């Protein structure tokens, strides 16, 4: 009995997952139909795809006893059948019906399995659907399921896939992490053996074996990472519909062009980047793209364009969203910033600095608080989400020409290369991708500006943070011999003063237990080959801290003076 | 036969404490603890337990007792609280005792430094008095304080 229940729960979860995926596709296809509705002719491929997706949902829902879901899917399926046989001509009304039907179906898929409320609009909608059927369908034929359109044949054509519980993957990844740690340890041992006068053949054998282990480990790690990779297109899929709906509500004409949807990145990141991107998209339509009349006056096409692009660049994925709208009005940003007391009226800021203001919580330049965005939940939300994913977020804008948002994210969050440093007794890891350079800095080079320490590196004034002081832990051993790591986040450099460099290492990021709480400046911890624990420095936070505390401003002041 | 509980006993200072064995994952010897900066004072740091990072709290500090240097008798009691694993430093771990429920008395109000909510009672075994603790409450109390500190 218990087993049966378990199976049912699993089936329902599967049903929902699959239905959600199919609903995204239905969305995209229904939109395509809407666009071709003006021509009155439906693309048979699209209609067929719609039919198949609805058919699958209907079948699964009926099997699990979700009657309402099955009935609605059936009704929509019939409509597609009529379109396919051209018993009904494709019209804007028809397309609207499909889109509305999809939304209802989406609500039902969420509500019916969990015993939620069935949308009140459902009966009326079903009636409308069957009205079309009775009116338009020729009386001598009943809707029939086409032989070639069963989901099974489609599955045969698709690539073989398997659904795996993400927890199982994480467990596997954790084990590989252990393997990587031990690999490092064996390499270390082999290396130290080669320094002492060990047995020559033994030494060679061990080195060889360590090398082999390293290669295998690397390959396992890589393929396991790939398992977690999913195309970002999963997130992009729902955007065309969103653009259509918002643009319609705002009385704007907007076209979304998507490229690079097949670019892959870690599933956790894909799951979390959807919301911020959606927010940016709303922002582009609400604040970016102008009304058609305004655009015409500006000599632009009535229809605004939003380009959404994703591509890999080294160890990162770059997601770009740009619009050809009005751009950011820096004067207005300034005025708002002064009104919100973010800056003083006499303060002079560069355009870049003004842009950074829109990342501040509670900032919005929208004249009227719109229903969809501009309610004070602004760019700071996006900024926060991106920072949480260890990424970077930048904005460029040109008045009257448009705005470009760029998000850079790491491909994965699990394993990184880090520079290990020692401060007192503690070992810290600094993610290598933010390290610019590391060097010894003589104490004579350190200057004090407004009681903050700075150094000049290649003509640039860099604020220093003494890691030991920052964390209030062990005092650095010998300030004369201190080493400095220059790190850079979004073009801002700071120097981290540490005792000794301990080399680079691949590390597996482990979260610190939440019982320890969130520690400013620490993003996690890792276990090294020796079994020792090293804390990972949260360089984003350290840089933000250094700049927020005004060190940077004073440092720049110092440049101006010299 | 009357009902009973099985408790693992340990010492902190002159007192003997007991914890229901179902709350205990394992008891290990002292290992090197990596200090984590800017944490509440009673959090000693984290340890590496077979590849897992486990936060360690010092029960002495938690109970407002004097800090002592670890000795060779010091132990870490590893416990699962909800989904979280945590280690607690004690002076020494003794044994597993079966205490009949009818020899457990309501805790007297005056047990130094202990909040009543994690005190389950006092078990009497002959001359020995064993203070019975509910570890889940020890931690939620700790978290509460941490939150207060943050606010």
Nearest to A37 by CA among A129, A125, A99, A114: A99
pLDDT at B80 over 80: yes
3-class secondary structure, A518:
coil
A473, A515, A535 member nearest B139 (Cβ): A515
Give residue A117's pLDDT.
Answer: 81
Of the candidates B32, B38, B54, which has its C-beta nearest A513's C-beta? B54
Confidence tier at A361 by pLDDT (50, 70, 90): low
Q: Write out residues 92-131 of B within 8 Å (CB-CB) of A.
A: none
Position A2 pLDDT exceeds 70: no
Q: Do B139 and A519 lie within an 8 Å CB cutoff?
A: no
Per-residue pLDDT, A477: 60
For chain B, the straight-line distance linking the first and the last C-alpha, in angstroms and rounded, comes to: 51
Cβ distance of A515 and B35 shorter than 8 Å = no
Q: How many Å lie between the alpha carbon of A491 and the closest alpha carbon of chain B? A: 28
Of the candidates A209, A230, A251, which is a domain's last residue?
A230
Nearest chain A residue to B44 by CA distance is: A516
- Domain holding A462, by residue range, is 415-561
Our CA-based measurement puts residue A541 at a distance from the nearest CA of chain B, in whole angstroms, of 14
pLDDT for the residue A67: 85
More confident residue, B35 or A160: B35
Is 80 exceeded by the pLDDT of residue A248?
Answer: yes
- Taking the C-alpha atoms of residue A87 and residue A520, their distance in angstroms, rounded to an integer, is 65
Q: Do the chains contact at A519 and B143, CB–CB below 8 Å?
A: no
Q: What is the pLDDT of residue A48?
A: 85
Give the model confidence (pLDDT) of A134-154 as tens digits.
665 444 444 444 444 444 333
Return the SS3 of B108.
coil
Mutation to test the A interface, candidates B51, B144, B149, most A Cβ within 10 Å = B51
Q: What is the mean pLDDT of chain A?
A: 79
Is B139's CB within 8 Å of A473's CB? no
**Are A188 and A283 within one domain?**
no
Measured over all CA atoms, what is the biggest interatomic distance in chain B, rounded to whole angstroms? 51
Residues of B in contact with A426 (CB under 8 A): 34-35
The contacts of residue B10 (CB under 8 Å, 6+ apart) are B16, B17, B18, B19, B75, B77, B90, B91, B92, B93, B94
**Nearest residue on chain A to B41, alpha-carbon basis:** A516
Q: Taking residues A386-397, report their average pLDDT.
A: 84
Arithmetic mean of pLDDT, A234-238: 86
| CA distance to partner chain B, nearest, from residue A57 (Å) | 36
Q: Are residues A426 and A509 in the same domain?
A: yes
Both A403 and A422 in a single domain? no
The predicted structure's pLDDT at residue A421: 94
Q: Which residues pair with residue A406 across a beta bridge?
A: A320, A394
- Chain A residues in contact with B46 by the CB 8 A cut-off are 512-513, 516, 525, 533
Closest residue in B to A536 (Cα) is B36
Residue finishing a domain among A157, A186, A201: A157
pLDDT band at A194 (very low <50, low <70, confident <90, very high): low
pLDDT, tens only, A407-416: 988 877 667 7
Q: Number of A:B CB contacts under 8 A?
A: 74
Q: Which of A82-86, A191-195, A520-524, B114-118 has the lowest mean pLDDT?
A: B114-118
Between the alpha carbon of residue A368 and those of residues A286, A365, A375, A378, A400, the distances in Å are: 10, 9, 9, 14, 19
Q: How confident is the model at residue A531 (pLDDT cuts 50, 70, 90)?
A: confident
Q: Is the pLDDT reported for residue B10 higher than 90?
A: yes
Q: Dihedral sign for Cα A353, A355, A359, A361, please.
A: positive
Nearest CA-CA partner of A265 in A319, A218, A321: A319
Residues A36 and A96 in one domain: yes
Q: What is the pLDDT of residue A1?
A: 42
pLDDT classification of A116: cutoffs 50, 70, 90: confident
Q: Which of A472, A517, A534 to mutate to probe the B interface, most B CBs <10 Å?
A: A517
Split at pLDDT 50, 70, 90, the class of A370 is very low
Question: Of the spans A142-151, A216-225, B76-85, which averages the highest pLDDT?
Answer: B76-85
Share above pLDDT 90 across residues of chain A, in percent, rounded to a whole number: 10
Tokens at A257, concatenated? 């062009």
Pairing of strands A402-410, A392-398: antiparallel
- Please give the structure tokens belonging to residue A20: 């959600």
Residues A189 and A280 in one domain: no
Taking residues A199-218, what's their average pLDDT?
A: 79
Q: Which of A174, A513, A519 is the best residue to mutate to test the B interface, defined by the most B CB atoms within 10 Å of its own CB? A: A513
* Cα separation, B40 vs B38, whole angstroms: 7
Q: Which of A287, A372, A371, A291 is nearest to A333 (CA)?
A: A287
A517/B contact by beta carbon, under 8 A:
yes
**Residue entry with tokens 């033994």:** A202
Of A515, A522, A525, the CB nearest to B86: A515
The pLDDT score that the predictor gives to residue B56 is 92
Inter-chain contact B51–A519, Cβ cutoff 8 Å? Answer: no
Q: A384 and A240, same structural domain?
A: yes
Same-domain check for residues A189 and A115: no
Q: So what's the pLDDT on residue A146? A: 44
Q: Is the pLDDT of residue B121 over 90?
A: no
For the segment A427-456, what is each residue's pLDDT rounded down to a tens digit?
A: 999 988 889 988 888 777 888 776 678 888
Residues in chain A: 562
Q: b/e string for A287-308 if b means 16 or more Cβ within 10 A? A: bbbbebeebeeeebeeebbbbb
Token representation of residue A67: 């009657």
Mean pLDDT of A350-357: 77
Mutate to test the interface with B, among A514, A515, A519, A531 (most CBs of B within 10 A): A515
From its phi and psi, is residue A327 left (phi > 0), alpha (psi between -120 and 50) or beta? left
Residue A495: the pLDDT is 92
Could you tell me if A535 lies within 8 Å of chain B, comparing CB atoms? yes
* Cross-chain residue pair A519–B55, CB shorter than 8 Å: no
> Which residues, 6 or more positions from B34, have their beta carbon under 8 angstroms from its beta carbon?
A426, A525, A532, A533, A534, A535, B45, B46, B47, B48
Residue B150 touches chain A, beta carbons under 8 Å: yes
ipTM surpassing 0.90, yes or no?
no
A200 and A141 within one domain: no
Q: What's A296's domain CATH number?
A: 3.30.565.10
- Of all residues in chain B, the one with the smallest CA distance to A178 is B51
Distance from CA of A512 to the nearest CA of B (A): 7
Best-predicted range by mean pLDDT (A215-229, A381-395, A475-489): A381-395
How close does chain B come to A445, measured CA to CA in Å? 29
Q: For residues A390 and B29, which has the higher predicted lDDT (pLDDT)?
A: B29
pLDDT at position A7 over 80: no
Tell me which chain B residues have a C-beta less than 8 angstroms from the C-beta of A512. Answer: 36, 46, 53, 55
Average pLDDT over every residue of B111-140: 77
* Nearest to A121, CA basis, from A95, A99, A100: A100
Furthest-apart CA pair in chain A: how many Å? 96
Length of chain B: 151
Same domain, A548 and A434: yes
- A400 with A506: CB under 8 angstroms? no
Lowest mean pLDDT among A276-290, A346-360, B50-64: A346-360
**What's the pLDDT score for residue A149?**
40
> Which has the closest alpha carbon to A22: A63, A66, A55, A67?
A55
Q: Of A69-83, A233-247, A438-452, B58-72, give the lowest mean pLDDT range.
A: A438-452
Does residue A254 carry a pLDDT above 70?
yes
| Domains of chain B with CATH codes | 4-150 (2.40.50.180)
From the list B39, B53, B85, which residue is nearest A517 (CB)? B39
CATH number for A518: 2.40.50.180
Q: pLDDT of A258-311, one tens digit each?
A: 999 888 888 888 888 888 898 889 888 888 888 999 999 989 999 999 999 998
Report residue A276 as tokens: 């911020």
**Total domains in the fold of chain A:** 4
Q: What is the pLDDT of residue B118?
A: 76
The pLDDT of residue A478: 66
CATH number reported for the structural domain that contains residue A100 in this entry: 1.20.120.160
Whole-angstrom Cα distance, residue A261 to residue A317? 12
Q: Do B86 and A519 touch (CB under 8 A)?
A: no
Asked if A447 contacts A461 with a C-beta cutoff of 8 angstroms, the reply is: no
Radius of gyration for chain A, computed over Cα atoms and rounded to the nearest angstrom: 29
Among residues A508, A446, A558, A559, the alpha carbon closest in space to that of A181 is found at A508
Is B139 in the A-facing interface, judged by CB distances under 8 Å? yes
State whether A113 and A136 are in the same domain. yes
Q: Among the three residues A395, A410, A425, which one is the final residue of a domain in this structure? A: A410
Residues A55 and A27 in one domain: yes
Q: Which residues, numbered 25 to 54 in chain A, qualify as contacts with chain B under a Cβ-Cβ cut-off of 8 Å?
A: none
Tell me, what's the pLDDT at A110?
85
Q: Is a pLDDT exceeding 80 seen at residue B46?
A: yes
* Residues B37, A473: C-beta atoms closer than 8 Å: yes
- Note whether A262 and A314 are same-domain residues: yes
Interfacial B residues in 15-54 facing A (CB < 8 Å): 32, 34-40, 43, 46-48, 51-54
In order of A181, A196, A203, A209, A213, the CA distances from A199 in angstroms are 25, 9, 6, 15, 21
Distance, in Å, from the CA atom of A74 to the CA atom of B11, rounded to the nearest integer, reads: 70
User: What integer is the mean pLDDT of A223-249?
Assistant: 85
Mean pLDDT within A16-30 = 85
């Amino acid at each position: 009995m218990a087993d049966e229940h378990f199976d049912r729960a699993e089936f329902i979860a599967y049903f929902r997952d699959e239905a959600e995926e199919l609903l995204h596709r239905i969305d995209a296809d229904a939109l395509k139909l809407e666009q071709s509705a003006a021509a009155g002719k439906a693309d048979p491929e699209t209609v067929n795809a719609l039919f198949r997706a609805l058919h699958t949902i209907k079948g699964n829902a009926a099997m699990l006893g979700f009657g309402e879901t099955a009935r609605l899917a059936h009704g929509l399926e019939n409509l597609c059948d009529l379109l396919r046989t051209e018993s009904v001509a494709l019209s804007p009304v028809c397309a609207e019906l499909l889109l509305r039907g999809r939304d209802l179906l989406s609500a039902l898929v969420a509500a019916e399995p969990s015993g939620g409320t069935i949308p009140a609009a459902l009966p009326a909608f079903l009636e409308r659907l069957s009205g079309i059927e009775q009116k338009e369908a020729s009386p001598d034929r009943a809707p029939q399921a086409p032989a070639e359109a069963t989901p099974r044949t489609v599955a045969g054509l698709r690539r073989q896939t398997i659904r795996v519980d993400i927890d199982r993957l994480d467990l596997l990844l954790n084990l590989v992490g252990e393997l990587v740690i031990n690999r490092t340890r064996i390499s270390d041992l082999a290396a130290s053996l080669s320094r002492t006068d060990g047995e020559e053949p033994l030494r060679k054998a061990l080195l060889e074996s360590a090398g082999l282990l390293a290669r295998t480990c690397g390959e396992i790690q890589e393929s396991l990472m790939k398992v977690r990779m999913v195309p970002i297109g999963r997130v992009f899929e729902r955007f065309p519909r969103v653009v259509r709906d918002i643009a319609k509500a705002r009385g704007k004409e907007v076209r979304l062009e998507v490229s690079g949807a097949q670019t892959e990145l870690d599933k956790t990141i894909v799951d979390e980047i959807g919301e911020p991107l959606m927010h940016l998209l709303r922002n582009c339509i609400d604040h970016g793209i102008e009304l058609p009349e305004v655009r015409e006056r500006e000599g632009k096409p009535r229809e605004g364009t939003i380009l959404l692009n994703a591509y890999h660049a080294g160890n990162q994925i770059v997601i770009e969203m740009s619009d050809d709208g009005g751009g950011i009005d820096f004067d207005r940003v300034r005025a708002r910033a002064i009104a919100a007391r973010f800056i003083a009226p006499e303060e002079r800021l560069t355009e870049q600095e003004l842009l950074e203001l829109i990342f501040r919580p509670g900032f919005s330049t929208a004249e009227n608080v719109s229903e969809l965005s501009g309610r004070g939940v602004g760019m700071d939300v996006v900024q926060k989400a991106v920072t949480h994913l260890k990424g970077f977020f930048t904005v460029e804008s040109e008045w009257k020409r448009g705005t470009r948002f760029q998000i850079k994210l790491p491909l994965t969050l699990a394993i990184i290369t880090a520079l290990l440093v020692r401060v007192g007794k503690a070992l810290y890891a600094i993610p290598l991708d933010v390290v610019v350079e590391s060097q010894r800095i003589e104490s004579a080079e350190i200057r004090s500006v407004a009681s903050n320490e700075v150094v000049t590196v290649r003509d640039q004034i860099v604020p220093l943070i003494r890691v030991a002081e920052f964390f209030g832990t062990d005092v650095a051993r010998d300030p004369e011999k201190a080493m400095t790591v220059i790190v850079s986040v979004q073009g801002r450099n700071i120097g981290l003063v540490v005792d000794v460099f301990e080399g680079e290492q691949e590390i597996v990021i482990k979260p610190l237990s939440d019982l320890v709480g969130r520690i400013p400046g620490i993003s996690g911890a890792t276990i090294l080959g020796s079994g020792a624990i090293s804390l990972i420095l949260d360089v984003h936070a350290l840089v933000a801290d250094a700049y927020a505390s005004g060190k940077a401003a004073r440092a720049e002041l110092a440049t101006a003076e010299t | 036969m009357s009902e009973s509980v099985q408790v693992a006993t340990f010492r902190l200072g002159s007192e003997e404490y007991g914890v229901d064995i179902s709350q205990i994952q394992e008891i290990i010897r002292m290992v090197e603890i990596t200090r984590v900066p800017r944490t509440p004072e009673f959090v000693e740091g984290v340890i590496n337990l077979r590849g897992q990072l486990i936060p360690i709290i010092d029960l002495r500090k938690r109970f407002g007792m004097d800090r002592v240097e670890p000795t060779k008798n010091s132990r870490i009691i590893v416990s699962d609280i909800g989904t979280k694993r945590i280690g607690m430093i004690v002076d020494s771990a003794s044994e597993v005792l079966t205490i009949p429920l009818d020899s457990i008395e309501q805790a007297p109000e005056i047990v130094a430094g202990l909040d009543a909510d994690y005190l389950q009672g006092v078990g009497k075994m002959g001359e020995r008095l064993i203070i019975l603790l509910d570890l889940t409450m020890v931690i939620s109390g700790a978290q509460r304080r941490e939150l207060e500190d943050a606010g």
